[in-house]
C-alpha cells in the first residue's frame, strides 16, 4: 500500500513500533471547535442508529469483511451501514474519471481510498463521505450533496497554484444514485499519517523543538489561509477562510530523513457538512483556529491522543516546558492575552527561537517525487526598487503612439459566443514546440470541469475544428503558414515578420531575471546588494563568463559570492535572451560556449521550477549567488526568488510587478504573504518599456482568398472572457479593465 511505502521513508525517531492502519484507530473524534467539550461529537453519535459492534462504523472491520465475503455487498452484514467500495469501482467527476484501487482506512468524517485518475493514470486519494438513510432523510441528503459540490474545494482566486502545505481538493463529486460524496486530491499526500497516528505509534510525547516546528509550519499556512482571496467551486470569491477543524486528525505529517512537514487537510467548510442536521452550527473563526492549534501543541507535548480529562487550564496537567514557550502556548490557547491573528502569533514564535535548538529553524518542504524538493525560508520578503521617472513616462507616451497596432483598435467583445462570422470547418494552426502557447493551450485548471482553453474555444464554436501542429522552431511554424500547411500561427513577436503576413496581439509575456532572497539573511541578499535591479550590460558580463564572482560585477558594490548560472531548457526563451540581452554575435558565441560541459564556468539548463528551487538552495545551503531567467508567466506567483528590475542603457530601471496602488513593489513587499496585492504592470508591457517584454500574436496571411480564421481566432482570444483565462494562466492581458480586483 502507498501508506506503507510512505511510512518506510519516515525517520525511526517518529515510529518505534509497527502500525497496521494508515489512519487513526477507532475512537471518539473530538469536535475541533471545542476540544475541551465534555460531550464529544464523533461518528459514533452521528451514526448511532447503526448498531455497530465497535461503535464507529467508519472504521469497523465488519464492513471490509462483508466485502470480502460478498464483493457485490452494498451494506455491512451486521449493522446495515454502507459497505466499503470494492476495488475497480469507477465514477465520473467534473474534472475526470476515477477508479478505486484499494481501501486505506478512515480519517475524520470519511473513508480513504487509493485511486487513480483514468485520463493520465496519475495517483489520487479519494475521501468518501456517507449520508446513510438511518441518519439523514432524503431532503437532508439532497441538500448536503448540493452544498458539497458548491463548497467542497477551494483555489486561489487568481487561479495559481501555491505551495502552502494545504491539501487543495482536485474534484468534489456527489454520487447521483448512492448515499455518498467523494473528495479527490491529486497525488498521495492525503494518505500520509496524521499527528494522531504519530502519537499512537510512538507512544511518547513529541520533543519540544519538534512541537515548535509544527507550530511554525501550521501558523505559516494559517496566515496564508486567513489572508488570501479564494475561489469556491460555485464561483464565489472569499477573502480569507478559517480552517475550522484544526486537530490531531486533520494535520498530516510527512518526513524525509530527519526533516518533517505538516500539511493541513479536512477543512470545516466541507468536513462539517456531514454532521447531523441537529448538530449546533459553529461558524469557524480565526481566533478558534489559533486556540485549536494550541490544544494540538499541548497534546503533542503530553503524547496524549485527546483525552477530555486532560485540561491545559490545570497547571498539574502540564509537562515540563521551557517557560517562554509555555507563555507563548498560553497566549495561543487564549489563557493569557490572545493573539489577534496567525501572523502575530508566528512573529511571537520566531522571537523565542533562540531558546530552542537552532535546527528548529530549518523550514523545508518536500513534495511528491524522488527528486522534487522545494526549499524555502520561513518568510520570504523579496525586494526590489523602482519608480518610473518623468523621462520614462515621456518615453512611454511616445512609444504608445508608435505601436503598430493599438490594443484598443476595435471594441472589446465580452464573450466567445458573441464573436461574429467565425468560419466553419477544420483548420490547422502552428506554433513553436515548448513555447508559452504550447503550455497555455493545454492547461486544464483555467475553468471548471477540467476544460482546457482550446476545448473552451471549440465548445463556443461547435462548427469550428482547430488542430494544433507544434514545430521545432518558430521559423518552421511560419514556413508552414506560408506554404499553406497551416491556416495561422501563434508566435512571440520579438522581431518584425514578413510584409505579406498580418498579426493581432492577444497578450504579453516577457523574460524575468531572478536571484534568491533569504529573509533570514536579507542583509546579505543579492536583491538588496543590487538595489533591486540589474543592467543588460551586467547580464552580458555574467552570461558570457566575464564575471565569476559577484564582487567583480561592474557598477555595483557586491558581496564576495561565487556565481552560478542557470538557463531554461526551451529554445524560445534562449532565442529571446540572445536577441534582447546578449545582442552581439560575439556575446552569443561566448554564451553558447558556456552551454558546453567541462568549462571553467558553465550554464546549467533546468526547468523553471528546478531553477527557482536551485537558486534559493544554492544561496541558503552553499553560499552561492545563483542567477537564472525564465518567462514571467511561469515565474509570477512563486515565493522562491526575486525578479530584478532591468536597466537598458541610460534608461530607468523597469520592474514587471506593481502593487494595487500602482507603484512598483518595494524592498519591503512580501511576495508570499502579500500575494494578491500585486500583479504584472500591464502598462510596461503595453508600451514595451520593459526591455525583455514581447507581445503574443496570432499570425495569419494577408491573402484575402483564404478563410479569415486567423483574424477570427485572434478576436476570440481578445474577448474579455478569454483574456481573464489567459491572465489566470500567467500571461499579461491586453487591458487593465477586466474587473479583477
Quick: pLDDT tens for 511-563. 999 998 765 555 567 888 888 899 999 999 999 999 999 999 987 778 889 99
For position 599, what pLDDT does the model report? Answer: 65
Among 196-210, 229-243, 332-346, 622-636, the least confident range: 229-243
- H-run or E-run covering 446: none
Q: Which percentage of the chain shows pLDDT scores above 70?
A: 79
> Smallest Cα–Cα separation from 443: which of 433, 455, 431, 461?
455
**CB proximity list for 666: less than 8 A, separation 6 or greater:** 383, 384, 385, 659
CB atoms within 10 A of CB 454: 15
pLDDT at 382 over 60: no
> Smallest Cα–Cα separation from 548: which of 603, 606, 611?
603
For position 390, what pLDDT does the model report? Answer: 45
- Distance set, CA 383 to CA 160, 343, 369, 468, 523 (Å): 21, 20, 31, 40, 11
CATH of 2-375, one of 1.10.510.10, 1.10.10.10, 2.40.50.140, 3.40.50.9100: 1.10.510.10
Band of the pLDDT at 397, cuts 50, 70, 90? very low
For position 72, what pLDDT does the model report? Answer: 81
Give the residue-averaged pLDDT of 194-201.
89
Q: CA-CA distance, 636 to 511, in Å (whole number)? A: 11
Averaged pLDDT score across all residues of the chain: 79
- Contact between 478 and 485 under an 8 Å Cβ cutoff? The reply is no
Q: What torsion, rounded to 10 degrees, do the Cα atoms 498, 501, 507, 510 define?
A: -10
Q: CA-CA distance, 534 to 512, in Å (whole number)? A: 11
> Smallest Cα–Cα separation from 629: which of 603, 651, 647?
603
Alpha-carbon Rg of the chain, whole angstroms? 28
Joined together, the cell numbers standing for residue 184 give 479527490
CB atoms within 10 A of CB 111: 24
- Contact between 31 and 281 under an 8 Å Cβ cutoff? The reply is no
Q: What torsion, rounded to 10 degrees, do the Cα atoms 610, 615, 617, 620 define?
A: -170
Statement: the pTM of the whole predicted model exceeds 0.85: no
Q: CA-CA distance, 541 to 562, in Å (whole number)? A: 14
Give the residue-averaged pLDDT of 384-393.
42
For position 520, what pLDDT does the model report? Answer: 53
For position 402, what pLDDT does the model report? Answer: 38
For position 366, what pLDDT does the model report? Answer: 34
Domain extents for the chain?
2-375, 390-509+694-728
Give the residue-averaged pLDDT of 95-104.
91
- Contact between 644 and 530 under an 8 Å Cβ cutoff? The reply is yes
pLDDT at 18 over 80: no
Which of helix, strand or coil describes residue 471?
A: strand
Q: What torsion, rounded to 10 degrees, do the Cα atoms 289, 290, 292, 296 define?
A: 130
pLDDT at 295 over 90: yes
**CATH architecture for residues 390-509+694-728:** 3-Layer(aba) Sandwich (3.40)
- Distance set, CA 162 to CA 189, 225, 573, 587 (Å): 15, 11, 24, 37
Give the residue-averaged pLDDT of 231-239.
74
CB hemisphere CA count around 23 (13 angstroms): 23
Most confident range, picked from 22-36, 153-167, 285-299: 285-299
Q: Which residue has the higher pLDDT, 136 or 740?
A: 136
pLDDT at 30 over 80: no
For position 565, what pLDDT does the model report? Answer: 95
Band of the pLDDT at 377, cuts 50, 70, 90? very low
Q: Tell me the per-residue pLDDT of 202-220, one tens digit each, with 9 for 90 and over.
A: 888 999 989 999 999 999 8
Q: CA-CA distance, 202 to 13, in Å (whole number)? A: 8
For position 542, what pLDDT does the model report? Answer: 95
Where does 576-681 show beta strands of DSSP type E?
603-605, 624-631, 641-643, 645-647, 657-659, 678-680
Band of the pLDDT at 735, cuts 50, 70, 90? confident
**CB proximity list for 580: less than 8 A, separation 6 or greater:** 494, 511, 691, 692
Amino acid at each position: 500500500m502507498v501508506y506503507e511505502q510512505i511510512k518506510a521513508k519516515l525517520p525511526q525517531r517518529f515510529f518505534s513500533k509497527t502500525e497496521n492502519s494508515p489512519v487513526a484507530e477507532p475512537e471518539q473524534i473530538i469536535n475541533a471547535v471545542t476540544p475541551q467539550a465534555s460531550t464529544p461529537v464523533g461518528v459514533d453519535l452521528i451514526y448511532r442508529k447503526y448498531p455497530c459492534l465497535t461503535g464507529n462504523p467508519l472504521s469497523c472491520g465488519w464492513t471490509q469483511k462483508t466485502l470480502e465475503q460478498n464483493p457485490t455487498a452494498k451494506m455491512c452484514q451486521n449493522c446495515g451501514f454502507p459497505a466499503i467500495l470494492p476495488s475497480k469501482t469507477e465514477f465520473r467527476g467534473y474534472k475526470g474519471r476515477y477508479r478505486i484501487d484499494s481501501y486505506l482506512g478512515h480519517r475524520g468524517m470519511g473513508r480513504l481510498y487509493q485511486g487513480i485518475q483514468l485520463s493520465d493514470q496519475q495517483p489520487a486519494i479519494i475521501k468518501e463521505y456517507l449520508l446513510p438513510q438511518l441518519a439523514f432523510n432524503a431532503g437532508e441528503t439532497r441538500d448536503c450533496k448540493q452544498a458539497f459540490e458548491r463548497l467542497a474545494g477551494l483555489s486561489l482566486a487568481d487561479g495559481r497554484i501555491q505551495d502552502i502545505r494545504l491539501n487543495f481538493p482536485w474534484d468534489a463529486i456527489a454520487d447521483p444514485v448512492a448515499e455518498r460524496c467523494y473528495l479527490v486530491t491529486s497525488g498521495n499526500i492525503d494518505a500520509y499519517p496524521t499527528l494522531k497516528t504519530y502519537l499512537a505509534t510512538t507512544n511518547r510525547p513529541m520533543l519540544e523543538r519538534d512541537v515548535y516546528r509544527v507550530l511554525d509550519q501550521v501558523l505559516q499556512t494559517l496566515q496564508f489561509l486567513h489572508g488570501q482571496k479564494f475561489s469556491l467551486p460555485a464561483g464565489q470569491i472569499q477573502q480569507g477562510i478559517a480552517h475550522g477543524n484544526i486537530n490531531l486528525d486533520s494535520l498530516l505529517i510527512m518526513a524525509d530523513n530527519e526533516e518533517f512537514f505538516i500539511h493541513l487537510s479536512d477543512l470545516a467548510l466541507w468536513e462539517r457538512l456531514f454532521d447531523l442536521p441537529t448538530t449546533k452550527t459553529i461558524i469557524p473563526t480565526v481566533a478558534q483556529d489559533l486556540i485549536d492549534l494550541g490544544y494540538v501543541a499541548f497534546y503533542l507535548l503530553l503524547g496524549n491522543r485527546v483525552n477530555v480529562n486532560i485540561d491545559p487550564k490545570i497547571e498539574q496537567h502540564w509537562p515540563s516546558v521551557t517557560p517562554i514557550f509555555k507563555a507563548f502556548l498560553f497566549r495561543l490557547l487564549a489563557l493569557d492575552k490572545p493573539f489577534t491573528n496567525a501572523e502575530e502569533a508566528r512573529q511571537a514564535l520566531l522571537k523565542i527561537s533562540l531558546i530552542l535548538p537552532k535546527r528548529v529553524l530549518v523550514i523545508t518542504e518536500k513534495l511528491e517525487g524522488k527528486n522534487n524538493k522545494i526549499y524555502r525560508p520561513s518568510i520570504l520578503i523579496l525586494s526590489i526598487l523602482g519608480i518610473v521617472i518623468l523621462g520614462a513616462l515621456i518615453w512611454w507616451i511616445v512609444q504608445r503612439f508608435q505601436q503598430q497596432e493599438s490594443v484598443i483598435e476595435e471594441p472589446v467583445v465580452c464573450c466567445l459566443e458573441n464573436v461574429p462570422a467565425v468560419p466553419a470547418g477544420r483548420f490547422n494552426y502552428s506554433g513553436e514546440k515548448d513555447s508559452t502557447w504550447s503550455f497555455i493551450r493545454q492547461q486544464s485548471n483555467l475553468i471548471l470541469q477540467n476544460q482546457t482553453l482550446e476545448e473552451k474555444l471549440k465548445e463556443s464554436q461547435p462548427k469550428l475544428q482547430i488542430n494544433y501542429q507544434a514545430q521545432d522552431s518558430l521559423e518552421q511554424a511560419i514556413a508552414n503558414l506560408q506554404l499553406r500547411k497551416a491556416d495561422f500561427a501563434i508566435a512571440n513577436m520579438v522581431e518584425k515578420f514578413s510584409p505579406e503576413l498580418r498579426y493581432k496581439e492577444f497578450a504579453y509575456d516577457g523574460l524575468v531575471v531572478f536571484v534568491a532572497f533569504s529573509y533570514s539573511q536579507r542583509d546579505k541578499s543579492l536583491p538588496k546588494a543590487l538595489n533591486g535591479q540589474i543592467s543588460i550590460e551586467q547580464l552580458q558580463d555574467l552570461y558570457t563568463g566575464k564575471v565569476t564572482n559577484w564582487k567583480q560585477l561592474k557598477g555595483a558594490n557586491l558581496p564576495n559570492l561565487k556565481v552560478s548560472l542557470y538557463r531554461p531548457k526551451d529554445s524560445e526563451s534562449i532565442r529571446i535572451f540572445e536577441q534582447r540581452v546578449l545582442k552581439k554575435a560575439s556575446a552569443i558565441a561566448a554564451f553558447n560556449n558556456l552551454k558546453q560541459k567541462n568549462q571553467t564556468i558553465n550554464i546549467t539548463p533546468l526547468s523553471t521550477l528546478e531553477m527557482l528551487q536551485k537558486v534559493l538552495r544554492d544561496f541558503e545551503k552553499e553560499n552561492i549567488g545563483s542567477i537564472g531567467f525564465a518567462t514571467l508567466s511561469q515565474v509570477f506567483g512563486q515565493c522562491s526568488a526575486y525578479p530584478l528590475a532591468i536597466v537598458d542603457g541610460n534608461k530607468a530601471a523597469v520592474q514587471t510587478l506593481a502593487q494595487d496602488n500602482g507603484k512598483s513593489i518595494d524592498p519591503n513587499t512580501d511576495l508570499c504573504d502579500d500575494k494578491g496585492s500585486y500583479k504584472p504592470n500591464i502598462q510596461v508591457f503595453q508600451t514595451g518599456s520593459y526591455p525583455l517584454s514581447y507581445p503574443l500574436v496570432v499570425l495569419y496571411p494577408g491573402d484575402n482568398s483564404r478563410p479569415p480564421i486567423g483574424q477570427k481566432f485572434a478576436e476570440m482570444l481578445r474577448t474579455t472572457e478569454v483574456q481573464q483565462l489567459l491572465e489566470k494562466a500567467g500571461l499579461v492581458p491586453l487591458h487593465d479593465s477586466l474587473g479583477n480586483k
